[in-house]
Amino acid sequence: MESFGSTLEAYRIGVLPIEGFALMSYASTVEPFRAANTLSRRDLYEVINISFDGLAVQSSGAASVTPQQSIHDHIDLDYLFVVAGGNPALFDNKAVFNWLGRMSRFGARLGGVSGGPVILASAGLMSDRRMTVHWEHAEALAEISPHLLLERTLYVMDRDRLTCAGGTAALDLMLALITEHHGSLFASLVSDWFMHTEIRPSVGPQRGGIAARVGSNNALILDAVKAMESHVADPISLAQLSAMVGISPRQLNRLFKQRLGRSTMGYYRDMRLDKALSLLRNSPLPLTEVALATGFANSSHFSRLFSEYFGRTPSSFR
C-alpha cells in the first residue's frame, strides 16, 4: 500500500479514561488511530493517555491504562475524549471539569464515550449541542438537565462536540473522523482491519438501514450521506463531500440527480431541515439556536427555507 505523504501533521488525540471505564469503549476509541498509522506507514495520529494525577487508571476489568501525562501538564490537543463507565453521574471532580473547559477554550474538540457525555454535561460543556450517550446512562443524563439535546443514536458530531454510545459505537465515531481527515476509502481500510465490514452511520440501529432510508444502494451516494449526517451543524461544501468520497463534484451531483432526483446540496439542505423539525418538536431551543444547530447562519434565512420545504413556519410546530 502506498504510504501517505510526509507533509501531513499528526492529529493529537487525548484520551481521559475515568476510573471504572469499559475496556471495549477504550479500545474502540484508540485502536482505529493505531491501525490508521500502521496502514498509512506514518504517524497520522498521536494518542496521548491522560489522568487526573498521572497515575494508572483502573478499568472495570483487570487491566489499567498508564497515562503519559496528567491534567496538570501543559498539553496541546486537537481532540480530547472522556471515556467513562460505571455511574458517571457520581463523578464530581471540579478540577477535571475546569480543565475540560480550558481545553475547549484552547481549541480542542471535546468527545465523550459511553458515560463520558454525562461528565461533559456535568461540566456544563454540552449546552446547545446535540448529543448521545449509552442507554444505561440516559436517565441520569436527563436528570442533570432536562434541556440537553439527547438523541438515542450511535454517535453525534455537533461542531466541537463528539459523543457516542460506547462499545463498538466508538469505533464508528473514530472511523467517521478518519473519513473526515483522510477520505472514505482509507477509513474503509481501517474498518476492514477490525473485520468491521460496514461503517455504521451516526443514526445507528434506531433507524432502518442507510440504503433503505436514502433509497439507493450506490456506495458513493451512501458515503456522501454518511458524511452529511456527521456534519449537520457545520455543513461541509460540495467540494469537501466529493473529496471525501473520491470523485469530482460534477460526478457526485450527477449521481444524486440520477438516483435521488435532487442535487447533492439540495439533498443535504433538506436533511438539515428535517433535523430542524425534530428539534422544534422535541427541544425547548429558541428558533435562532435551532437554526445554528442545523447549520443555518441566521434565523430569517432558516425560516424562509423551512417554510418553503414544509409549507408551514417553524413557530407553528411549537
pLDDT tens figures, 294-312: 999 889 999 999 999 999 9
Distance, CA of 108 to CA of 105 (rounded, Å): 7
At 73-90, the pLDDT tens digits run 999 999 999 999 988 888
Please, which residues bridge with residue 158 across strands? Answer: 161
pLDDT at 185 exceeding the cut of 90: yes
The overall average pLDDT reported for the chain is: 90
Number of helical (H) and strand (E) elements in the chain, helices listed first: 13, 11
Confirm if 75 and 48 have CB atoms less than 8 A apart. Answer: yes
Task: Tell which wins on pLDDT, 269 or 289.
Answer: 269
Confirm if 227 and 267 have CB atoms less than 8 A apart. Answer: no
Look-up of cell digits 409549507: 311
Confirm if 158 and 233 have CB atoms less than 8 A apart. Answer: yes
Confirm if 30 and 190 have CB atoms less than 8 A apart. Answer: no
Task: Output the pLDDT for position 144.
Answer: 65
> Looking at the chain, which residues constitute the CATH 1.10.10.60 domain(s)?
209-318
Task: Output the pLDDT for position 1.
Answer: 38
φ, ψ for residue 129 (rounded to 5)?
-125, 135
In sequence order, which residues have a C-beta less than 8 Å from that of residue 17 and are 6 or more positions away?
Answer: 26, 49, 51, 57, 59, 65, 83, 84
Distance, CA of 239 to CA of 81 (rounded, Å): 29
Angle of helix 169-182 relative to helix 23-40, nearest 10 degrees?
Answer: 30
Look-up of cell digits 473529496: 243
Task: Output the pLDDT for position 3.
Answer: 43
Distance, CA of 177 to CA of 32 (rounded, Å): 10
Query: Could you tell me which of 16, 85, 8, 83 has the C-alpha nearest to residue 48?
Result: 16
pLDDT at 272 exceeding the cut of 90: yes
Residue type, 245: V
* Percent of the chain whose pLDDT exceeds 90: 73
6: helix, strand or coil: coil
Confirm if 88 and 22 have CB atoms less than 8 A apart. Answer: no
| Length reported for the chain | 318
- Gyration radius (Cα) of the chain, Å: 20
Distance, CA of 77 to CA of 11 (rounded, Å): 8
> Looking at the chain, which residues constitute the CATH 3.40.50.880 domain(s)?
11-173
Confirm if 285 and 296 have CB atoms less than 8 A apart. Answer: no
Task: Output the pLDDT for position 129.
Answer: 92
Characterize the bridge pairing of strands 45-51 and 79-84: unpaired
C-alpha distances out from residue 132 to 54, 153, 167, 251, 314, Å: 29, 6, 13, 34, 24
Residue type, 69: Q
Q: Which CATH class is domain 209-318?
A: mainly alpha
Q: Which CATH class is domain 11-173?
A: alpha beta
